[in-house]
Structure 1
Amino acid sequence: MKINKAYQFRLEPTVEQAVVLNNLVGSARFVWNQILAASFEMFAKNEFINATNLVNKIMDLKNNPDFDFLRTHANAVSLQQKIRDLASAWSRFFDPKVHARYKENKKKPKKPKSFKLLDGTELQLRPLMPQWKRKIDRRDSIRLVQFDKYCRVEGNRVKLPNGVGFVKFRKSQDIIGIIKNVTISKKSGHWYVSFGCERELDQNPIHPSTSAIGIDLGITKLITTSEGQHINPKNSFKSNQVKLAKLQRQLSRKVLFSQNWQKQNRKIQKLHHHIANIRHDYLHKITTNISKNHAMIVVENLKVVNMSQSASGSAVQHGRNVKAKSGLNKSILDQGWGMMVDMIEYKQHWQGGLLIKINPRYTSQTCFQCQHIAKENRRTQAKFECVKCRYVANADFNAARNILAAGHAVLSAEGGCGKGRPMKQKTCGLREKAT
């Protein structure tokens, strides 16, 4: 069994090294945009777009005398990998399954944009098409494959090509496995290095625990387990919301794209990055603890995109309780439910455990004792009281127990999750009684 894992660390380049790294990521961003423009021309002419066709266009850019910096301030391998990422983006655009998921999420349509072709006509850009990369976004990266050929790690330093040399990084944990590739990224003014590793196991891992647990996700309580344990949320966005609003008001009073506007925008981006880091770190600690202590974890298969839709409505028919729904949407997105479930899923895979996603329908309205389903069972957000058997419990705790019971029902209906079976399970439909 192979386990692929990435280790990300904070990179600490010197001033001279940062200049070289900026040139490398800047060249990769420039090549992305140039090839993207060429691919739009190919799309308008109904030409076939794949990685080979796009990568071959890099030499045309390098041979252009106006782009001589691509020969001196760029890495050939990273440019090829960047264009392969562009080809992957086009593959997702041409995939009908991706478009089906996009329509299912019912995202609010954006204002249509267009691209002016060389013949003067305009190409209407569609949803899910590859996007331009902008320097002002302050999110750049390059990826180097064949790590052993171009790079190496010595202690807390990594050797990078193109005259960068050895760069220190904050090595907070050991790198386990064979390093296949390395990604250098810049986010909100900070440099990061990510090592993509591959580890071969002689046999599939066996989880040290034998317990099973059901998890109910919420806002007031981030996690309520079927064992009665409650984990409070961090609410990193809510705690920084006032500061963020102040910075955004200051930004609105500045001239667009001026030097002062860019300085203020960098402050906002750093605060957003800080908020995301707090959430990411907190969810990693929670999910690691849960995954290590439970062999089977059952969660609801929630559609967070649909749950956090705007209630503003349309110009003809206005929505109701727009302000309250907006606050609820912020609270839902602040928790990071989707990110947390993804973390549990791959950590269970590493540990040899099992994650089951069940249908969330009626889990909060079903009585765990008598299985009676009624909307009146949950009259308040915190209290559950069955109208049939008078069973009283915490509403989230009752839901977590129902989630665990549904997970056991999935295992008995589907025959368990053996080797090669999908991690996401579903029960089969009930058969009609024979007459």
Structure 2
Amino acid sequence: MQRLQAFKYELMPTGEQQRQMRRFAGACRFVFNRALALQQTHREAGGKYIGYVAMAKQLTAWRNSAETAWLKNAPVHPLQHSLKDLEKAYKNFFEQRADFPRFKRKGQSDSFRYPDPKQIKFDQANGRIFLPKLGWLRYRNSREALGELRNVTVSLSGGRWFVSIQTRREVEVPVPQGGAVGIDMGIVRFATLSDGTVYAPINSFKRHEAALRKAQQAMSRKQRYSSNWKQAKARVQRLHTRIGNARRDYLHKTSTAISQNHVLVFVEDLQVRNMSKSAAGTTEAPGKQVRAKSGLNRAILDQGWFEFRRQLDYKLAWNGGHLVAVPPRNTSRTCPCCGHVSAESRRTQERFACVECGFEENADVVGAINVLRAGHARLACEVSGAVRPPAAGTHRGESALAG
């Protein structure tokens, strides 16, 4: 079977190469924003969506125009790929997978991609890579990139440049190991498995919150765009980078351990965006307990539940396993012993005590067991061709409240 995998390295560019990369990222951002503005103007005039081929002709006109002749200084393939990114954003919007495309801002996700592997030379033995109009760049060769090179993405993060090399290679069909397990996600406990295994949260943002607040306050006191302000902004960016790196490292280690020891993993289909919505309300109808809800939102977003699920999905596929998402309704209110559903059984955040049969257990473990059972029931119905079953302990017409 074929495996697509990306290997990310930190670049060590010269001063001139850094300036060139900033120009290339700015040119790609300009093309994306101008194409998006053209699409919106065309739509407001009653026209239809402009396809990639027609938009690529517009790019040629922009490169030949006297006003935007500077676009010729950037490699053409990354500019064309910016139009591909816009086309993908529109496709996700039309298929209701994402919001309407938004304009890109300078300093946010600055990157550009070389999609043609024929233009790239990768010299792993000497720790360098050749990119069009940039020449040879040194990089920190932290690990070996396996497989045939497909494309290269250059990105700026925390004031440092990185190169992500996507490869394709043939691997043996993996033999899955382990059994099935259900996972209950939480804040006090990051992940609780149905077999009783508990993964404590790292709370990366919370650990650095005081330092980040202090750095942001210092930046707010500086004259905007002054040298001191840029230094203070760089300090804030470094803290955000440290927070993100610590979170991703923990999620990778946890998802790798679970995917290597289980063939079937059932998780709650949590809608993180809805769970972390602000409770501020409007001027006419102000919200209640806004401060407490904002703290809960920060704690939810600090866990990285969606990224954890994304990593589990592809890592299980690499190891021959499968990830199945089940509705989270009443998973922590259903007794795994007698099946009775009651909110009163969840007397505290930590403890579950069934009001019907007296069964007691940790609430997170109960939730993980119910996730496992709901997952098995769903798979059984899908194999038999029946209608997808409801969540654990729910019936038709019951309220769809989260467990």
TM-score, with length taken from structure 1: 0.83
1-10 or 351-360, which deviates more: 1-10
Residues 416, 193 of structure 1: CA spacing in aligned structure 2 closer, same or farther, 3 A cutoff?
farther
Q: Distance in 2 between matches of 1:189 and 1:153?
A: 25
Residues 375, 415 of structure 1: CA spacing in aligned structure 2 closer, same or farther, 3 A cutoff?
same
**1:131 is the counterpart of 2:102:** yes
Residues 358, 272 of structure 1: CA spacing in aligned structure 2 closer, same or farther, 3 A cutoff?
same
Map Cα deviations across residues 219-249 of structure 1 (whole Å, 9 max, x no partner). Answer: 1110111111111111010011111212222
Please say if residues 283 and 340 of structure 1, whose CA atoms lie closer than 8 Å, have aligned partners that are also in contact: yes
Residues 10, 284 of structure 1: CA spacing in aligned structure 2 closer, same or farther, 3 A cutoff?
same
The one-letter amino acid paired with 1:60 is: A
Please say if residues 61 and 67 of structure 1, whose CA atoms lie closer than 8 Å, have aligned partners that are also in contact: yes
Q: Distance in 2 between matches of 1:312 and 1:70?
A: 44
Residue 221 of structure 1 aligns to a residue whose secondary structure is coil
Residue 40 of structure 1 aligns to a residue whose secondary structure is helix
Q: Distance in 1 between matches of 2:120 and 2:171?
A: 27
Taking only aligned residues, the RMSD between alpha carbons, in angstroms, comes to 2.5
| Among candidates 352, 355, 362, match of residue 394 of structure 1 | 362
Q: CA deviation at 1:38?
A: 3.1
Q: Distance in 2 between matches of 1:389 and 1:351?
A: 40
Residues 87, 410 of structure 1: CA spacing in aligned structure 2 closer, same or farther, 3 A cutoff?
closer
Map Cα deviations across residues 236-280 of structure 1 (whole Å, 9 max, x no partner). Answer: 100111112122223333444455444433322222222111111
The one-letter amino acid paired with 2:166 is: G
Residues 148, 406 of structure 1: CA spacing in aligned structure 2 closer, same or farther, 3 A cutoff?
same
Residue 178 of structure 2 aligns to a residue whose secondary structure is coil
328-337 or 394-403, which deviates more: 394-403
Residues 388, 180 of structure 1: CA spacing in aligned structure 2 closer, same or farther, 3 A cutoff?
same
Residue 110 of structure 2 aligns to a residue whose secondary structure is strand
| Among candidates 408, 411, 414, match of residue 376 of structure 2 | 408
**1:315 is the counterpart of 2:276:** no
Residues 13, 257 of structure 1: CA spacing in aligned structure 2 closer, same or farther, 3 A cutoff?
closer
Q: CA deviation at 1:81?
A: 1.0
- What percent of counterpart residues are identical? 37
- Aligned residue in 1 for 2:6: 6
Q: Distance in 1 between matches of 2:54 and 2:226?
A: 39
Residues 185, 392 of structure 1: CA spacing in aligned structure 2 closer, same or farther, 3 A cutoff?
same
Structure 1 runs (4+) greater than 6 angstroms displaced: 428-432
- Aligned residue in 1 for 2:318: 350
Please say if residues 7 and 195 of structure 1, whose CA atoms lie closer than 8 Å, have aligned partners that are also in contact: yes
Residue 8 of structure 1 aligns to a residue whose secondary structure is strand
The one-letter amino acid paired with 2:287 is: G
- Aligned residue in 1 for 2:182: 214
- Aligned residue in 2 for 1:147: 117
Q: Distance in 2 between matches of 1:25 and 1:387?
A: 61
Residues 431, 373 of structure 1: CA spacing in aligned structure 2 closer, same or farther, 3 A cutoff?
closer
Q: CA deviation at 1:47?
A: 4.5
Residue 36 of structure 1 aligns to a residue whose secondary structure is helix
* Structure 2: gaps (5+ residues): 397-403
| Among candidates 295, 302, 322, match of residue 263 of structure 2 | 295
- Aligned residue in 1 for 2:83: 83
- Aligned residue in 2 for 1:280: 248
Q: CA deviation at 1:13?
A: 1.6
The one-letter amino acid paired with 1:307 is: M
TM-score, with length taken from structure 2: 0.89
Q: Distance in 2 between matches of 1:416 and 1:14?
A: 61
Please say if residues 124 and 141 of structure 2, whose CA atoms lie closer than 8 Å, have aligned partners that are also in contact: no
Residue 264 of structure 1 aligns to a residue whose secondary structure is helix
| Among candidates 300, 316, 329, match of residue 297 of structure 2 | 329
* Structure 1: gaps (5+ residues): 103-127, 418-424
Residue 370 of structure 1 aligns to a residue whose secondary structure is coil
Residues 138, 352 of structure 1: CA spacing in aligned structure 2 closer, same or farther, 3 A cutoff?
same
How many pairs does the alignment contain? 392
Residues 37, 303 of structure 1: CA spacing in aligned structure 2 closer, same or farther, 3 A cutoff?
closer
Residues 285, 85 of structure 1: CA spacing in aligned structure 2 closer, same or farther, 3 A cutoff?
same
Q: CA deviation at 1:371?
A: 1.3
The one-letter amino acid paired with 2:119 is: K
- Aligned residue in 2 for 1:112: none
